[in-house]
Amino acid sequence: MDEHDATDLSETNWAPTTTSTAVALLATAGGVAGLSAAAGVAKGAVAAAAGAVCLAAALWLLTWDRWRAPATLAASLLLVPAGAGIAAGVGYESLVAFAASFPASSPTRVVGETLRIVGVMAVLWGSTVAVFGAAASVRGVATSRTVSRCLDAANRVVALPVALFLALAGHALVTNFEVGLAGMVGDFASAATEWLLAPSGDGTHLLSLGLLAAAATFAGYVALRDLPTEELAGEAELGDVRIADLAAGLRRTLGRLVGLAAVALPVAFLVETAISESVVESALPGAVWNLLVALTGSAALRTLLWWSALVAGALALVAALVRRSSRASTRELLVGYAPFLAGGAVVAAAGAVHRPLLDALVGFVAGRLDAPLAGQFRTLSENVVTFYGGETVVLGLTAGVSLLAVAGVAALRVAFALGFATDRAAGPALAGGGLFVAAAFAGTLSTPTWLVLAALVAALAVWDAGEFAATLGSEVGRRAATRRVELLHGLGALGVGVCGALAAGALSWGLPAGRSGELDGLSVALLAAVAGVVLLVTALR
């Protein structure tokens, strides 16, 4: 076995064991399927679960070290369908729940229908978190390191779509609002350009010329500081002086001029705003005043300074990028720029398919609404598309789902930072916790009591089996013969949970309704959860 094979075996061996992980996956799938069907959110749960699996796959790809650059690109691309799947699932079920609940039959039903919608959304979100946790627990990929990498990649992916959407939306607002905003912006830009590059009127224009001179001086100083002038010039000489020494001297001179400009600009501002030009003219000799007026009003000099600032600034930017690139390996550069490439691909895709995608989305939403609301929605959609443009709307939707993925990863990062999740068993904790929340809120939606109790037992089994798989895998490896031990542990935890659920069910069914009141589904669910947790912890201890 060569070194690479040994490395691969080591990386794949120390992972959660297979049997307990399979138990956690099956229990999560069964619990999510039953609860989502009972709550009437099966279609949305499928879409949201697909997004959750994409997010878990992105975390898994970010654990790759050998093919890190293409893996980072693939993980960055997966963040968009992850956010889109979750947004589509939640949005669809929200639309269905709202259409089924409102308008309410009576004003007294508004609160009840609102609570029902909250319960439906809680079941859907809990199921989504459970699926993500279960998928992430397969390889134990939900760690603080992978979540940090994913958050960094997500921020870079959304940078270009969000920036381009804001620019396009701002352009639409400026050009379409009939309040003179476009004219105001245009007039301001024209006045600023004239003040800076071609001032009119008699007198001196010290402040605008000083700003241009300061910008050109500072850009030249930064360019000479960052450019490898000594390496490029070598031992070349101009006359009897080395070119590298000339460049160093010029850099020192420009540095002193930058310091001088920092002092002179406030003085120029005060001269132009607080002192009358007639006072300055009377204080200076005529020849000096005429020279100062001609120099500060010269359009050619201002154009030269403007282009000097632009060229020197561009050289400084290129030098900074080259210097940064020279310090990092090619692999690190590819990893760093892969998310930006993914963001560019997202923008290109949004521009290519915006029209059919918009038609499909509008038709889908309108088809789920009643006749009056459907017509109003189509009219509103057409007005929005006409105002902003189809590309801008689709790009905004894409940026929105990408930001949803960023928010989800950021929430995971906060959970790790606060200690709510640990590297060893974050996936099982999320799976069990999500399934518990879904089961608890399903009890408010007329879900059968036996299903709520079964889902709570499944939540405990998922958490226990997943944590046991992570612990055992870290101690003996997933390739060790541990199936009998895992099955025995799983049966013990399942037996404890079933006993707790049966005890809670018997208690609720045996209480006289006339004296104690009938326990609703949520009370029974919470009672079963508490009993199961207490018995399970007691058994484990």
Work out the end-to-end distance of the chain between its first and last CA atoms, rounded to an integer number of angstroms: 42
Specify the higher pLDDT residue, 460 or 189: 460
Q: Model confidence at 541, in pLDDT bands (50, 70, 90)?
A: very low
d(CA 325, CA 442): 54
**pLDDT for the residue 39:** 85
% of the chain at pLDDT higher than 70: 74
The two three-digit tokens of residue 374, written as one number: 């459907």
Q: What is the mean pLDDT of residues 288-304?
A: 82
Helix (H, G, I), strand (E, B) or coil at 447: coil
CA distances for 122 relative to 118, 135, 185, 426, 433, angstroms? 6, 20, 47, 21, 12
pLDDT in tens, 57-96: 999 998 888 888 889 999 999 998 998 899 888 888 887 7
pLDDT in tens, 366-409: 776 667 767 777 888 888 888 888 888 888 888 888 888 888 89
For residues 447 and 525, the answer to whether their CB atoms sit within 8 Å is: no
For residue 2, pLDDT beyond 50? no
For residue 53, pLDDT beyond 90? yes
For residue 50, pLDDT beyond 90? yes
Q: Is the pTM of this model over 0.85?
A: no
**pLDDT for the residue 10:** 47
Span of 51-60, 119-128, 312-321, 508-517 with lowest mean pLDDT = 508-517
For residue 281, pLDDT beyond 80? no
For residue 483, pLDDT beyond 60? yes
Span of 17-21, 42-46, 136-140, 511-515 with lowest mean pLDDT = 511-515
Q: Model confidence at 509, in pLDDT bands (50, 70, 90)?
A: low
- Please report, for the chain, the start and end positions of each structural domain, with discontinuous segments joined by +: 181-327
d(CA 132, CA 127): 9
Q: What is the mean pLDDT of residues 220-249?
A: 73
